[in-house]
């Protein structure tokens, strides 16, 4: 939304409009879903003035009222489904990873969490007919896990028909068997993955705000951002906030971070995929003692919770632990050099 349209809101002059735009409040909708405290802190606007601006934006954007279930159903038809390219897992998820939702993948080290984020960074760029969302990826890397070489492997591991479609769409001359054409295609995939390394929890929270700006910049382009991957969500929070005395502060910051990510999903029809570390419950005498960290804050914020665990060789068990409209269940996949593959 151009700056001069923000000036139509009561109490917003040219200087205030500049402040709002500079801090990511570029549309009526982004203002409408903000809180007065947040706008006051980020855009240096008095809290009472911020409340007036937000209320005016809600009226202008028609945000915050009640609507019928039929209207909600109609809006949900805009939600995209990102395929894992594994039928058994897609069936478990009702078609794939949803946009406008947070999907959490947790498991012990080596279970394949980072492999999932890399694979989705590739799959999201495919055409909808091939299970993708025709968009780019933002990758927030907090554990130094992102490897472009792995993206290379996974692009080359796609089916030849999909590779041929992608070469035609990206106007790359050649075939999947052509070495130079494949190198050009891999580079084209890497160009649509925006990576930032988070050095601590505060930096990670800042990167979520920057991700919102980046998604806004790409919204009207050929490659809108369709997935934000955070690998891992909890590593820095777990390392920096140690002991029960720090727990409340940690959960409060984690809660804000999750809401910032969810706002990206809502505003730009983007899937949010986060990985999570685990701990072993010493009180568990029966069954699997592995439990996700992050507590109820993360449990409530995640729309879909998936647990990965190791099996024989390259097999991984994918278990759907929680979903609002799907039954719990399990599927099997393989983590191979070419990426995630069916059993």
pLDDT per residue over 168-200, tens digit each?
A: 999 999 999 999 999 999 999 999 999 999 999
**Rounded to an integer, what distance in angstroms lies between the CA atom of residue 332 and that of residue 309?**
10
Give the tokens for residue 231. 């690998």
Strand segments (E) across 48-201: 81-82, 97-98, 102-106, 136-141, 193-197
Distance CA 297, CA 256 (A): 10
Say how many C-beta atoms besides its own lie within 10 A of residue 341's C-beta. 16
Neighbours of 284 (CB within 10 A): 11
Q: How far is CA 162 from CA 169, 192, 270, in A?
A: 10, 17, 23
Q: Which two tokens stand for residue 316?
A: 């991984």
Measured CA to CA in angstroms, residue 244 lies from 248, 250, 270, 281 at distances of 8, 10, 34, 16
Q: Which two tokens stand for residue 258?
A: 């999750």
Q: Which of 265, 289, 266 is nearest to 279 (CA)?
A: 289
Quote the pLDDT of residue 5.
81
The pLDDT profile of the chain, 343 residues, written as one tens digit per residue, is 444 488 888 888 888 888 888 887 888 888 887 888 888 887 888 899 899 999 888 888 776 677 788 877 887 788 999 999 999 999 999 999 999 999 999 999 999 999 999 999 999 999 999 999 999 999 999 999 999 999 999 999 999 999 999 999 999 999 999 999 999 999 999 999 999 999 999 999 999 999 999 999 999 999 999 999 999 999 999 999 988 888 888 888 999 999 999 999 998 999 999 999 988 776 655 656 678 888 888 988 899 999 999 999 999 999 999 999 999 999 999 999 999 999 8
For 10, which DSSP code?
T
The answer to whether 66 and 236 have CB atoms below 8 angstroms apart is no
Measured distance CA(203)–CA(213) in Å, rounded: 15
Site of tokens 């969490």: 113
Q: Where are the domains of the chain?
A: 6-61, 75-341
- 6-61: in CATH 1.10.150.20: yes
Contact between residue 226 and residue 80 where contact means Cβ atoms under 8 Å apart: yes
- pLDDT attached to residue 75: 73
pLDDT tens for residues 13-64?
888 888 888 887 888 888 887 888 888 887 888 899 899 999 888 888 776 6
Q: Give the CATH number of domain 75-341.
A: 3.40.50.300
Annotated binding site for ATP, which residues?
107-114
- pLDDT for res 2: 45
CA–CA dist 294, 113 (Å, integer): 16
Query: Which residues define the annotated binding site?
Result: 107-114
Angle subtended at Cα 138 by Cα 133 and Cα 144, rounded to the nearest 5 degrees: 130
């Amino acid at each position: 939304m151009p700056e001069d349209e923000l000036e139509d809101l009561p109490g917003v002059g040219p200087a205030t409009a500049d402040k709002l735009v500079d801090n990511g409040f570029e549309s009526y909708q982004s203002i409408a879903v903000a809180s007065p405290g947040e706008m006051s802190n980020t855009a240096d606007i008095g809290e009472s003035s911020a409340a007036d601006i937000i209320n005016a934006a809600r009226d202008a954007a028609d945000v915050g009222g009640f609507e019928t279930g039929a209207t909600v159903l109609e809006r949900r038809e805009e939600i995209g489904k990102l395929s894992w390219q594994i039928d058994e897992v897609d069936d478990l998820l009702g078609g794939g990873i949803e946009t406008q939702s947070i999907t959490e993948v947790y498991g012990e080290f080596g279970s394949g969490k980072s492999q999932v984020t890399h694979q989705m960074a590739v799959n999201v760029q495919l055409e909808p007919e091939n299970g993708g969302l025709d968009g780019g990826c933002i990758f927030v890397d907090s554990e130094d896990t992102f490897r472009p070489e792995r993206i290379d492997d996974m692009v080359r591991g796609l089916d030849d028909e999909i590779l041929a479609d992608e070469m035609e769409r990206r106007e790359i001359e050649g075939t999947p068997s052509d070495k130079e054409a494949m190198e050009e295609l891999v580079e084209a995939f890497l160009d649509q993955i925006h990576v930032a390394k988070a050095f601590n929890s505060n930096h990670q929270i800042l990167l979520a705000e920057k991700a919102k700006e980046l998604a806004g910049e790409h919204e009207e382009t050929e490659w809108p951002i369709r997935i934000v991957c955070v690998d891992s969500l909890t590593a820095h929070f777990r390392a920096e906030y140690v002991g029960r005395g720090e727990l409340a502060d940690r959960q409060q910051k984690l809660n804000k971070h999750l809401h910032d990510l969810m706002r990206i999903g809502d505003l730009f029809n983007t899937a949010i995929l986060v990985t999570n570390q685990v701990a072993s419950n010493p009180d568990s005498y029966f069954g699997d003692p592995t439990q996700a960290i992050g507590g109820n804050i993360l449990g409530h914020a995640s729309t879909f919770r998936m647990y990965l665990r190791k099996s024989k060789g390259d097999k991984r068990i994918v278990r759907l632990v929680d979903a609002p409209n799907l039954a719990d269940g399990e599927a099997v996949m393989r983590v191979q050099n070419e990426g995630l593959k069916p059993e």
